[in-house]
Amino acid sequence: MAIASVDVAIIGGAVIGSSVAYHLAQRNDFKGTIAVFEKDPSYQRCASALSAASIRQQFSSSINIDISLHGIDFLRNIGELLEVDGDKPRIDLVEAGYLFLATTDKRSILVENHALQQSKGADIGFLEAHALKAKFPWLNVSDLTAGCHGLSGEGWFDGYGLMQAFRRKARSLGVPYEPVQVVHLEKIMGGSWILTLSNGEQMEAGVVVNAAGASGGMQICLEADLNIPIHSRKRMIFTFECREEVPNLPLLIDPSGTYVRPEGAGFICGSAPAEANDLDCFDYDVDYTFFEEHLWPTLANRVPAFEAIKPGAAWAGHYDMNLFDHNAFVGPVPGIEDFYIALGFSGHGLQQSPSVGRGIAEHIVTGHYETLDLSELGVERLGRNKPLIERNVV
Ligand SMILES: NCCCC(=O)O
């Protein structure tokens, strides 16, 4: 019996997979068929739904800044770009900036990063400690030398809304979403891929895009004989309320790595755990002592108003963490024909989804990147042992 076939199979239908699907489907020069395979159509547990959902230009590597410069442009215009039948999606983008703070020993890094960001056109202000205090009177600057504040082009948004907007637009362009897991992949010598699905069916595909994230990306790579260091790492987000006003709070990154930002009438915060405690993990349990013992004291030191707060709900999600260099692997995989990956975003997937989806679609259709060259993110750097250094991993 003949099995169904598709030109491009996208494994993973969250924000990255859906961005690839949309960018491919909207191209006039792509006449093929696309199918997206998503094992959790409720999206309750996908990283896109559980993230702090923010975008910044304050990276230390040129490529990550370029990716975010396009990202913010896309997010600002999402209503028009992803409109379906006159319905313009809203993601409630708040461009209140990030605020990266530095102690004296890290000043030269902050200065260097700022110079690069400015040279690329990112709108970032450099503030000496006294200027920080003047702009943000609620901030404890006693141990700080300076900070960088995103004046525009940085902030937060509804990440789940972004994912659904990509998905809805892709579906409106004729892309079907199959609510199944891809459990096995096999390449016919010199020919197509055969996908075995969790419902027992098989599907033939010309090209496979692995955008399966923390929960399934690694398994799909192994099916294709690709072993890369992508690991599922838990990150918790805690909410709290504060009686005192903290006006104009940006997404503040403390020198310790702890972050906090406004969310509705309250705040959300989080931090990477100590390396020794950052183990491979697939559960969604919340450790409330992490807030009590680590986050709250750090935040109360930085913003004394946070000494008196009311803790609220908390949740956990997973980063698809690239342990090689904490940057995504994006693009075709040398030696594995017709196989693309977009994995290992290490916490930057939502903000990088517009550029990465566009780039993969370009590469599938034309064999090269047409707009922003994403080859620096290629998996080749692993084989060459040349990590892409990004200092600002939060
Ligand atoms: N990962 C939480 C903050 C988002 C970011 O890294 O920009």
Place of tokens 């406004």: 262
Which of 106, 118, 95 has the alpha carbon at shortest distance from 147? 106
Tell me the per-residue pLDDT of 200-254, one tens digit each, with 9 for 90 and over: 999 999 999 999 999 899 999 999 999 999 999 999 999 999 999 999 999 999 9
Whether the complex's predicted ipTM surpasses the cut of 0.85: yes
Q: Which of 261, 292, 318 is the last residue of a domain?
A: 318
Q: For 64, how many CA atoms within 13 A lie in the half-sphere containing its CB?
A: 28
Strand-pair category, 202-210 with 193-197: antiparallel
Q: Residue 123 in contact with residue 153, Cβ under 8 Å? A: yes
Tell me, using a 6 A CB cutoff, whether residue 58 lines ligand 1.
no
Ligand 1 centroid, distance to 348 Cα (angstroms): 6
Tell me the per-residue pLDDT of 95-106, one tens digit each, with 9 for 90 and over: 999 999 999 999
Does 40 score more than 90 pLDDT? yes
Instruction: Say what angle helices 62-76 and 107-119 make with each other, to 10 degrees.
Output: 60
**CA end-to-end span of the chain:** 51
Domain membership flag for residue 55: yes
Ligand 1 centroid, distance to 101 Cα (angstroms): 15
Q: Is the dihedral of CA 124, 260, 75, 324 positive or negative?
A: positive
Q: Length of the chain in residues, anyone? A: 394
Does 1 score more than 70 pLDDT? no
Confidence (pLDDT) at 238: 98
- Separation of alpha carbons 102 and 344, rounded Å: 27
Q: Structural domain of residue 243, as residue ranges? A: 98-153+233-318
Tell me the per-residue pLDDT of 308-360, one tens digit each, with 9 for 90 and over: 999 999 999 999 999 999 999 999 999 999 999 999 999 999 999 999 999 99
Q: Which of 302, 318, 334 is the last residue of a domain?
A: 318
| 280 secondary structure, DSSP code | B
Q: Which atom of ligand 1 lies closest to the CA of 347?
A: 1
- Which protein residue has the closest C-alpha to ligand 1 atom 4? 54
Are residues 146 and 245 both part of a single domain? yes
Pocket test for ligand 1, best of 55, 56, 327, 392 (most atoms within 8 A of CB): 56
Confidence (pLDDT) at 3: 87
Ligand 1 centroid, distance to 350 Cα (angstroms): 10
Tell me, using a 6 A CB cutoff, whether residue 56 lines ligand 1.
yes
pTM of the model: 0.97
**Structural domains of the chain, count:** 2
Are residues 220 and 340 both part of a single domain? yes
Domain membership flag for residue 251: yes
Tell me, using a 6 A CB cutoff, whether residue 52 lines ligand 1.
yes
